[in-house]
Amino acid sequence: MSIFQNIFLETNKKRFAVLIDPDRTKVNNLKETAELAKKSGVDVFFVGGSLLTNDSLDECITLLKEETDIPVIIFPGNAMQINAKADALLFLSLISSRNPEMLIGRHVIAAPYLKAAKLETISTGYMLIDSGKSTAASYMSNSFPIPYDKDDIAVCTAMAGEMLGLKLIYMDAGSGSASSISETMTRRVKDNIDIPLIVGGGIRNIETAKMLYNAGADCLVIGNAIEKDNSIIREMSDLLKIING
Ligand code: 1GP
């Protein structure tokens, strides 16, 4: 069974992804986070970043694979973030942008390397949503995010992504954003698509996570909050035990 089927299609369960930014993770901290993730039953690791400066993607993925059986999906910030040791890669098309490089250009460059690496690719409609301050994702992708309160634009963008045959929609307020995506935008997008919805960016506490799951998010992604205090992994696990039964 593919990673996509296993994590996102197989059950109606809500999922939790721990985002590892290789640039910001020290090996010792990563080991501790990996152990905690294993004990807490985390569903999946997303690994990647908008800009990586120290070439530690391979080291990160190797450590996660050595320490756990949790699937590792690359969440690439650019076409260089490809590694055959991962289980899959989110093949992101930035459908909130009008930047052809992020819609198709980088994909053409990456395609032969992905084929050679035999990596499972999960075609994903990636949507950046404004959070009130400029994020690395928005700057590096040279694109405007969808305004925070323009739910209709988000809904129509997600619907178009589904109609184009993308397998997932990922709405992201951007790593370290001041606030998460709103409850109404999450609910309205979920109500208008039949493919799984991933939501991330600015989730710092369980109350926000609960609100987003209730609004319809199928999978939540947390990065920054874990880097500050990884005990939120355990709290997420407790929350998911209640939600998933
Ligand atoms: C960013 O959705 C992820 O791409 C996670 O964001 O680091 O703010 O949790 P945070």
The tokens for 77 are 């910030």
Of 41-55, 88-102, 230-244, where does mean pLDDT reach its minimum?
41-55
For residue 170, give the ligand 1 atom closest to its CA: 2
Q: Show the CA angle centred on residue 83, arms to residues 134 and 14, nearest 5°.
A: 65
Distance 175 CA to ligand 1 centre (A): 4
For residues 109 and 10, the model is more confident at 109
For residue 75, give the ligand 1 atom closest to its CA: 4
Distance 72 CA to ligand 1 centre (A): 16
Distance 200 CA to ligand 1 centre (A): 5
CB 48 less than 6 A from any atom of ligand 1:
no
For residue 204, give the ligand 1 atom closest to its CA: 9
Q: Average model confidence (pLDDT) for the chain? A: 95
Q: Tokens 């992708």 correspond to what residue?
A: 141
Q: Which of 41, 42, 44 is nearest to 6 (CA)?
A: 44
Alpha carbon distance 209, 142 (integer Å): 29
Q: Given pLDDT bands bounded at 50, 70 and 90, which one contains residue 133?
A: confident
CB 222 less than 6 A from any atom of ligand 1:
yes
CB 125 less than 6 A from any atom of ligand 1:
no
Q: Which of 44, 37, 81 is nearest to 196 (CA)?
A: 44
Alpha carbon distance 65, 77 (integer Å): 21
CB 202 less than 6 A from any atom of ligand 1:
yes
For residue 201, give the ligand 1 atom closest to its CA: 6
Q: Given pLDDT bands bounded at 50, 70 and 90, which one contains residue 212?
A: very high
**What pTM value is reported for the model?**
0.96
CB 25 less than 6 A from any atom of ligand 1:
no
For residue 225, give the ligand 1 atom closest to its CA: 9
pLDDT at residue 138 is higher than 90: no
Mean pLDDT of 175-182: 93
The tokens for 243 are 């939600």
Packing angle between helix 27-40 and helix 231-244, nearest 10 degrees? Answer: 20
DSSP code string of the chain? --HHIIIIIS-S--EEEEEE-GGG--HHHHHHHHHHHHHHT--EEEE--S---S--HHHHHHHHHHH--S-EEE--SSTT---TTSSEEEEEEETT---HIIIIIHHHHHHHHHHHHT-EEEEEEEEEB--SS--HHHHHTT-PPBPTT-HHHHHHHHHHHHHTT-SEEEEE--TT-SS---HHHHHHHHHT-SS-EEEESS--SHHHHHHHHHHT-SEEEE-HHHHH-THHHHHHHHHHHHHH-
CB 221 less than 6 A from any atom of ligand 1:
yes
pLDDT at residue 233 is higher than 80: yes
Q: Given pLDDT bands bounded at 50, 70 and 90, which one contains residue 33?
A: very high
For residue 177, give the ligand 1 atom closest to its CA: 8
Distance 241 CA to ligand 1 centre (A): 22
Q: Given pLDDT bands bounded at 50, 70 and 90, which one contains residue 34?
A: very high
Beta bridge partners of 89: 74, 121
Q: What residue owns the CA closest to ligand 1's atom 5? A: 201
pLDDT at residue 118 is higher than 90: yes
Alpha carbon distance 213, 243 (integer Å): 9
